Amino acid sequence: MDICKIPENASKCSGSTMECFMVLSTQAQKISIATLCGLFGTLCIFENSLVLYLIFSTPGTRKKPSYIFISSLALADILASIIFVCSFVNFHVFRGSGLSKEAFLLQLGGVTTSFSASLSSLLLTALDRYLSISRPSQYKLLLTRRRAWTALGVLWASCAGIAALPLLGWNCCTMDSTCSELFPFVDDKYLSGWVCLTLVLLGCIVCAYTHVLCRARQHVALMERRRARPGRQSTRVRMDVMLAKTLAMVLAVLVLCWSPVLLLMIYSVFSRLSDPLRKAFAFCSTLCLLNSMVNPLIYALRSEELGAALRRLLARLRGRPKGPEESPEAESTHRSSVVDT
């Protein structure tokens, strides 16, 4: 295995460089990490697989750009769960230090690609919501299926390209530069760049949803003035109130799950991390997996259309005939979903 410069606080380690980053020292810590990863990972794979099935088995949803973005989000979260759980548990719990530098960076690139694609898909979903509420009359012209698929292609290619940079040579072994204190072989400058990119993505998501929330508040005021005139406009206003509640949960979950990891990454760039902080980073990393588990509940299963598709699926599994309110014809009559603004 290549020997490269490692953080000074890890220089006391002997043997392989990889072992310096295996910070879980007690059996209780390893069991806790394995339990969290197993629980979050299993639920994440099940929920997101269910979302993909519901979207592509329902003719009314699989062709809409909004659901195309949610499909990308679900796929990214599934890949993140599989790659992250397998590599993270193998590294920290089973102390899999036998990997070569290239194999480890390939695994890390897979984790980086999937989590970056998940956040980028959230950004596309946020921009989709922004367009739908800021330019409702031009929304279908501005965001076509072709443009949606093109955006996803650029998104995934960019995430994969950025994640592959350490494997292609931007690592502290090849460049003989300062290594990160959190990841083996990762250059400090590369980690700083990825953190900055992630912060930009999160900032754009927050800005887009903040705008949507402000517009939703305006619609609440409009509802108060038009309460005596029920109709299509009132339906849209009620839908925007539901959307506001959803977006409030989006921002809360996003900040809660990502801020601890990003703050520790930023801190590691400017200062040395103690062993307790490095252990805290290992546990905080599972919050990113928790975010992938919660995403389907916020973005997909709160949708009226996917909710109706889920009820039909459950009815088939129970052997019950579909009721009139669960028929495709009935589904087409209420388009006021959280996703389809």
Looking at residue 121, its pLDDT comes to: 92
What lies within 8 Å, CB to CB, of 69 at 6+ separation is: 121, 124, 125, 128, 148, 152
- Residues of the chain below pLDDT 50: 1-6, 9-16, 323-341
Looking at residue 231, its pLDDT comes to: 52
Exposure string over 159-190, b if 16+ CB within 10 A, otherwise e: bbebbbbbbeebbbbeeeeebbbbbbbbbbeb
Tell me 272's DSSP state. Answer: P
In total, the chain counts a number of residues equal to: 341
Q: Where are the domains of the chain?
A: 26-314
Domain spanning 26-314 has what CATH number? Answer: 1.20.1070.10
**Rg of the chain, C-alpha, whole Å:** 23
Looking at residue 158, its pLDDT comes to: 95
Looking at residue 206, its pLDDT comes to: 86
The residue with tokens 């390893």 is 30
Provide the whole-model pTM. Answer: 0.83
Looking at residue 53, its pLDDT comes to: 92
Looking at residue 338, its pLDDT comes to: 38
Is 166 in contact with 177 (CB distance < 8 Å)?
Answer: no
Looking at residue 208, its pLDDT comes to: 85
Amino acid at 305: E
Exposure string over 66-95, b if 16+ CB within 10 A, otherwise e: bbbbbbbbbbbbbbbbbbbbbbbbebbbee
Q: Which of 299, 290, 312 is nearest to 339 (CA)?
A: 299
- For the chain, count helices (H), then strands (E): 10, 0
Count the Cβ atoms, other than its own, within 10 Å of residue 328.
13
Is 279 in contact with 23 (CB distance < 8 Å)?
Answer: yes
Between CA 290 and CA 81 the distance in angstroms is 9
CA distances from 222 to 113, 135, 138, 227 (A): 43, 18, 21, 8
Q: Which of 95, 94, 79, 129 is nearest to 251 (CA)?
A: 129
Looking at residue 134, its pLDDT comes to: 78
Q: Which of 87, 88, 84, 152 is nearest to 117 (CA)?
A: 152
Is 243 in contact with 338 (CB distance < 8 Å)?
Answer: yes
Between CA 118 and CA 326 the distance in angstroms is 31
